[in-house]
Amino acid sequence: MQGILEAGNILKNDGLVAFPTETVYGLGGNALDEKAAEKIYMAKGRPSDNPLIVHIADFSAIEKIVKSVPERAKKLADAFWPGPLTMIFEKSELVPYGTTGGLETVAVRMPNHPIALELIRAGGGYVAAPSANKSGRPSPTLASHVEEDLSGRIDMILDGGPVGIGLESTIVDFTDEIPTILRPGYINQEMLEEVIGPVQMDKALMHVDASVAPKAPGMKYRHYAPEAELVVVVGHPADVQTRIRQLAKEKVQAGYRVGIIATDESAKEYPVGIVKSIGTREQEETIAQHLFAVLREFDDNKVDFIYSEAFYTPQIGQAIMNRLLKAAGQHKIEV
């Protein structure tokens, strides 16, 4: 691809390049230089205690940045890399604390996207990259989202079109006895357990309890927050639709602008409000793909309230609901 060499040189000189991956767009900088990490935090407006994921393009590259790779992690790498999986290990001395937010551990991922892989190789092999959004906004799934948030604050954006998955990678921590999922993603617990046996969920993901601090520092922030008040309605589809219709009608009568997150199947059931279909329940991938874009669109529409159906779909449902409920500040109504 045109521009990759230039982009690689920018990274080598501690500049910042946004690039597509199969999950979401990333904001890349040289992972082995503290100055680049600092620039990333500045550009995103992100707290610098929130560690970055180091992206590699070849498995052999991992040796230099971690103390050791457990056997089970090798198996997961064999099964899922390149792909939407991030693994956490004890870091080596080569990785600066600026990249790991002061932690002794480092998160590593090999993304499954040709542009990302080429860029990592061109940039020296180790690219630190958070999602390329302004801190607190939904992760970018299109190059235009990156431009909206970071234009003028970074050196280059590589446009690879829409991403495939639309939700950030699954994070598995290997520094505990039992591997622990810190952030759910496209690769779910069952898929991991098929390869390596028992895997646990971080307690902070199970109970939404403020007293249990999440182990991934980034999971504690209110992420992906739309400007409107977002409420998720959970229950049997017919009841959910009835309640959303009711809520939308009340708010519109009171003079507010209302958005509704529906599906291809249900969109016609809502006569009042700005109704957006997020995808089809027949294909859960489409729901994951469009979640962040729909939240951004509602910001543009300047709605005051958003009511969303729930999407507890078989494979990706846990990840979808994790992001949606976070965006809602955990505000849900059960019917």
Binding residues for Mg ion, rule: CB under 5 A, are 131
Task: Report in angstroms the alpha-carbon separations of 150 from 8, 33, 142, 308, 314.
Answer: 19, 21, 13, 28, 35
Number of helical H runs and strand E runs in the chain: 11, 15
Burial of residue 60, with CB atoms counted within 10 A of its CB: 0-12 exposed, 13-18 middle, 19 or more buried? exposed
Within 294-323, the residues that bind ligand TXA by CB under 6 A are none
Q: Which does 28 bind (CB under 5 to 8 A by kind): Mg ion, ligand TXA, none?
A: none
Q: Which stretch binds ligand TXA (CB under 6 A): 31-39, 50-58, 156-164, 194-202?
A: 50-58
Q: Which does 160 bind (CB under 5 to 8 A by kind): Mg ion, ligand TXA, none?
A: none
Look up residue 220 and give its amino acid.
K
The verdict on 109 binding ligand TXA (CB under 6 A) reads: yes
- Binding mask 171-210 toward ligand TXA (x if CB under 6 A, else -) reads x----------x----------------------------
Long-range pairs for 67-76 at CB < 8 Å and ≥24 separation? 67/91, 67/92, 70/174, 72/174, 72/179, 72/196, 72/197, 73/174, 73/179, 75/195, 75/196, 76/172, 76/192, 76/195, 76/196
Give the gyration radius of the chain's Cα atoms. 20
- The full DSSP string for 268-327 is GG--SSEEEE--BTTBHHHHHHHHHHHHHHHHHTT-SEEEEE----TTTHHHHHHHHHHH
Measured from the CB atom, is 288 or 303 closer to Mg ion? Answer: 288
The verdict on 216 binding ligand TXA (CB under 6 A) reads: yes
Torsions phi, psi for 214 (to 5 deg): -65, 145
- Binding mask 125-154 toward ligand TXA (x if CB under 6 A, else -) reads ----xxx-----------------------
Among 18, 73, 107, 294, binds ligand TXA (CB under 6 A): 107
Task: Write down the least CB distance from residue 230 to Mg ion, Å.
Answer: 18
- Supply 77's token pair: 């790498």
Task: Write down the least CB distance from residue 53 to ligand TXA, Å.
Answer: 5
Q: Which stretch binds ligand TXA (CB under 6 A): 75-83, 215-223, 253-261, 315-323?
A: 215-223
Among 8, 26, 29, 184, binds ligand TXA (CB under 6 A): 26
Residue nearest ligand TXA, CB atom distance: 218
Task: Write down the least CB distance from residue 223 to ligand TXA, Å.
Answer: 8
Q: Which does 86 bind (CB under 5 to 8 A by kind): Mg ion, ligand TXA, none?
A: ligand TXA
Task: Write down the least CB distance from residue 139 to Mg ion, Å.
Answer: 5
Q: Which does 107 bind (CB under 5 to 8 A by kind): Mg ion, ligand TXA, none?
A: ligand TXA
Q: Which residues contact 312 (CB under 8 A, 6 or more apart)?
A: 318, 321
- Binding mask 63-82 toward ligand TXA (x if CB under 6 A, else -) reads --------------------
Q: Which stretch binds ligand TXA (CB under 6 A): 150-158, 163-171, 237-245, 309-317?
A: 163-171
- Supply 324's token pair: 């949606």
Torsions phi, psi for 102 (to 5 deg): 85, 0
Longest dimension (CA), the chain: 61
Residue pair 145/162 in contact (Cβ under 8 Å)? The answer is: no
Residue nearest Mg ion, CB atom distance: 131
Residue pair 26/19 in contact (Cβ under 8 Å)? The answer is: yes
Residues that bind ligand TXA (CB under 6 A): 21, 23-24, 26, 50-53, 86, 88, 100, 103, 105-107, 109, 111, 129-131, 168-169, 171, 182, 215-219
